[in-house]
Structure 1
Amino acid sequence: MKKTFLLLAIPLVFLNCKTDKKANGKLNVVTTTSMITDLVSHIGGDQINLQGLMGSGVDPHLYKASEGDVNKFVTADIIFYNGLHLEGKLVEVFEKMQHQNIKTVALADALNKKTLIGSTYFASNYDPHIWFSVDNWKLATKHVVTILSEAVPEHQDTFKANGEIYLKQLDALEENLKNIIETLPKEKRILVTAHDAFNYFGKSFGFEVVGLQGISTATEAGVQDVQRLAAFIIEKNVKAIFVESSVPKRTIEALKAAVNSKNHQVAIGGSLYSDALGNTGTPEGTYIGMFEHNVNTIVNALK
């Protein structure tokens, strides 16, 4: 009932707030995930008013719009979101925004579908965790530059310059990650996590990736899933498995207990950032810092 109320309320709020747009002469931009907020902040800088919906530890698969979120949406000039049903519970809200002539931009639309990882278990038929390919994030960066430049042509030189700087930082990140991963023997590159968020990472850096839950955290792991993965860990002699900052720890703890009950020791190697960045103001609160943290944590634990 509350969801229906929010959707019905959008046109009314829109009428009340439309005149507030660009109150200080800057573009009002709203982003969904913390990864996208970080990306857009690098490109837009001080030339835009930026509001991100989801903070540290927030699961976008399960996120529902609050009344405050609706107010942010209707006063936005542009909404950047991931797409591929990552923000599954916001799809109807995005559709309503489009009817109100508010530009909504899915970063996944910037990618070639041939490079996407398919999924028979997810509504979009594609894995939405596109940010775990640095190449994907470079394309997303270029897309954001294009969209902002079209929206505010007088600042396009700034957006393009910011984009070039960030692309160079992403190049350096990719090289750094490869160097760290090279220290881990190939036979040890097996990543077991709470849910299937790291397939693009595995494809990019040569890891076999197995998640206890599916691509969406809306699906829950059952006893058979735990036993199946426990057998896999024992067979492959995996030394460490990983929890995620935006997913409850209980599933991985149950997996560890199942493995240990079979006289095989496996450790929890640390916490990875999957669907959200770390706290604002920390290195892990940025895309680059998050990725470096994840790779260092994985490599150190699996060594």
Structure 2
Amino acid sequence: MKKQLIPLLTIILFLSCKSEKKGNTKLNVVTTTTMITDLVKNIGDEHINLKGLMGSGVDPHLYKASEGDVAKLANADIIFYNGLHLEGKLVEVFEKMKTKKTIAISDALDKNTLIGSEYFASNYDPHIWFDIDYWKQATQFIVKTLSEAIPEQKAAFETNGTKYIEQLTALKVKLGTTINGLQKEQRILVTAHDAFNYFGKAFDFEVVGLQGLSTATEAGVQDVQKLSAFIIEHKVKAIFVESSVPKRTIEALQASVKSKGHEVTIGGTLYSDALGNTGTIEGTYIGMFEYNVNTIVNALK
């Protein structure tokens, strides 16, 4: 049975009527995407009560607040979300929650450095987690936010933040070494939608998505035909499914290439808009990134 979705007005009214929290309890923090949940968990650790709205395989572009989300949002002291209209169906909720501390981690970034798009509502590519340097800035932003909310734990948050930034720095070096195993002409990444442009910019890949920046719009026959011609022309060896996007779009692309007398393999499933299952390596940001890069490089060699 599908979850019953709560009308927007009901959510807003319920949130506005929430009573103030009493007693010396931990800060209640709610996050939207799995990437943000993992990041806040690394910083807040045992000093906060953390609840994430979205799970593995969930597409944030299409996510709607469910009945179970209402209590989480109502009890939250801080809500961290991506912003840049990634959580398209939740944006109106956040904009109406004037009494809540809703914080977009994209506010930590200089908008002039973001990848723009005339086809997306915010005019910016929202997939900022695929730039590790941006994720370092997001880390510092969350450290600052939590430190202001719980001053007595500032030292702990700063220590956790420093440690995590060191891990991100090491990750970027490690990934660069792995990617150096590919020749320039092999660095063409074809996926279900344009989630990997920041990755491409950071690691010198040409990135082509069958759908646009948002999965809210579906690829048409012309999109499939155009991309299949591109794959044949550039002798692309493999294309990739995304964990949060139905695989049928990539399978249709593969079939289109085959109909033209050529072959392209499906190189594996990449984690784009959500991490892997909780408790797995791919269920962490660092593990997800390593898995993606290893999958890409192994398939395109």
After TM superposition, is the score higher than 0.5? Answer: yes
Over 3 Å counting, the alpha-carbon distance change for 1:220 and 1:12 in structure 2 is: closer
Question: Unmatched 5+ residue regions in structure 1?
Answer: none
Superposition CA RMSD, Å: 1.4
Cα deviations across residues 267-302 of structure 1 (Å, max 9, x unaligned)? 000000000000000000000000000000000000
Between the aligned partners of 1:12 and 1:292, the Cα distance in structure 2 is: 41
Matches within 5 A, 1:1-303: 5-12=7-14, 14-15=16-17, 17-19=18-20, 21=21, 25-98=25-98, 101-303=99-301
Secondary structure of the structure 1 residue equivalent to 2:209: strand
Q: What is the distance in 1 between the residues matched to 2:203 and 2:11?
A: 46
Secondary structure in 1 matching 2:7: helix
SS in 2 for 1:80: strand
Which structure: greater helix fraction?
A: 1
- CA apart distance, 1:102: 1.1
Q: Quick one: distance in 1 between partners of 2:14 and 2:292?
A: 44
What CA distance in whole angstroms lies between the structure 1 residues aligned with 2:235 and 2:248?
A: 22
1:221-254 CA deviation, whole Å, 9 max, x = no partner? 0000000000000000000000000000000000
Q: Give the direction of change, closer, same or farther, for the CA distance of 1:152–1:22 in structure 2 (3 Å limit).
A: farther
Equivalent residues of 2:15, 2:73 under 8 A apart: no
Query: What displacement does 1:115 show?
Result: 1.2
Question: Residues of 2 paired with 1:289 and 1:4: CA distance?
Answer: 34
Q: Give CA deviations for 1:156-206 in whole Å, capped at 9, x if unaligned.
A: 000000000000000010000000000111110000000000000000000
Q: Is the Cα–Cα contact under 8 Å of residues 239 and 266 in structure 2 kept in the other structure?
A: yes
Which runs of 5 or more residues in structure 2 are unaligned? none
Normalising by structure 1, we get a TM-score of: 0.96
Aligned residues: 298
TM-score by length of 2: 0.96
**Aligned mates of 2:24, 2:253 — CA distance in 1:** 52
Moved more, 26-35 or 2-11: 2-11
Q: Which runs of 4+ in 1 moved over 6 A?
A: none
Q: What amino acid sits opposite 2:19 in the alignment?
A: K
Q: Offset at 1:212? A: 0.1
Instruction: Give, in whole Å, the separation in 2 of the partners of 1:11 and 1:185.
Output: 56
- Residue identity (%): 72
Q: Deviations over 1:36-93 (max 9, x none)?
A: 0000000000000000000000000000001221221111000000000000100111
Question: Counterpart of 2:207 in structure 1: which amino acid?
Answer: V
Asked if 2 retains the 8 angstrom alpha-carbon contact of 1:22 and 1:28, the reply is no
How far has the Cα of 1:5 moved from its partner?
Answer: 3.5
> Distance in 2 between the 1:24 and 1:189 partners?
53
1:23: Cα distance to partner?
Answer: 5.7
Q: Tell me, in whole angstroms, the C-alpha distance in 2 between the residues paired with 1:47 and 1:9.
A: 28
C-alpha displacement at 1:7, in angstroms? 2.1
Q: CA deviation at 1:4?
A: 7.5
